[in-house]
Amino acid sequence: MQAVNWPEAGKTIVLVGHQPYIGRLSAQLLGEQPLLWSVKKGAVWWLSHRVRHDLEQVRLKVMMTPGMLTPNE
């Protein structure tokens, strides 16, 4: 996260990766622990950072898998 200056960058950052690293990164950002989350291939995660009441927060705004974009037949 240092390479992209998260969260100080103040702009949109797109990370692309593979397991186990992308699952571990998601867990670290949302749960503050380097757990090995299973992340669906091709999923998009939209996370935002903010400071509210002097507390830093990372919010999951949207998580979508390719299957969510396919209309049900």
Q: What pLDDT tens digit does each residue of the chain (73 aa) get? A: 788 787 776 777 777 888 888 888 888 888 888 788 888 888 888 888 888 899 888 888 888 888 887 776 5
Domain span holding position 23? 1-65
Task: Determine if the pTM surpasses 0.75.
Answer: no
Residue 8 lies in a domain: yes
Spell out the alpha helix ranges (H) of the chain.
Answer: 21-31, 66-69
Q: Is residue 71 part of a domain?
A: no
Task: Name the residue with tokens 């797109």.
Answer: 14
User: Rounded to 5 degrees, what angle do the CA atoms 66, 34, 40 make?
Assistant: 10
- d(CA 18, CA 5) in angstroms, rounded, equals 20
Q: Are 17 and 4 in contact (CB under 8 A)?
A: no
Q: What total number of domains does the chain contain?
A: 1
